[in-house]
Amino acid sequence: MGSIQDIKVAVDAVVFGYSSKNILSVLLIKRGVDPFKNTWALPGGLVLDDESLETAVQRELKEETGVTIDYLEQLYTYGKPGRDPRNRVVSVSYFALVKPHHFKIQANTDAAEAQWFPVNQLPELAFDHNVILETAKQRLKAKLTYQPIGFDLLEKEFPFSDLEHLYTSILEKNIDRRNFRKKILSFDILEETNKISQKGSGRPAKLFKFNTKKYNSLLKEGFHFEIKFV
């Protein structure tokens, strides 16, 4: 006797946002339809018969938030029975890390609103999206130990403290600043410029920029970066 199967495939997108000196945020939509109408959720939806998973997640993200991202990294697949009250739905989740001000968000289709939320001030989420989001946060934290992050998130030239702030925002912990600086500089992905930052009332700080060639090399090869906390 053959098995009977009636399973739908969906995609969900966890889009993290980061701007210099700001806390890590995540892009959410308020559902305009049942189930979970008027509840915040991750952008996403069902995969159409004629599209790939990658095309589907980019389409859903564009339709529900107005955001276009060329590349999202596949995160995890969620298929627990009952995760969607309408049908048996298996969802393939994706995540990305972007600069929020590069995008003009605009809700459409079955999304009533779209908004950035600080990761430490999140509303109640629909379905099992809190589980998906937590998985994405842990993946992002782990990513810091084997891949450099910051090239597309920091200004072209920046004080070293901006890079420290990026890492502490993602890790949600205070790092050993002296050890962090020593280890990061040892990878030769930063170049010290002859410019000085005059921002704020604090002591002027030297500006750095990424060595594009070395950064891209480590991005492909990966690196081992053990981060110490205080």
Quote the CA–CA distance of 132 and 126 in Å, as a whole number: 11
By three-state DSSP, how is residue 61 classified?
A: helix
Tokens coding 142:
């782990």
Closest to 30 measured CA to CA, from 44, 15, 17, 41: 41
Catalytic residues: 113
Identify the DSSP state of 107.
-
DSSP bridge partners of 191: 209
Rounded CA gap, 122 and 129, in Å? 11
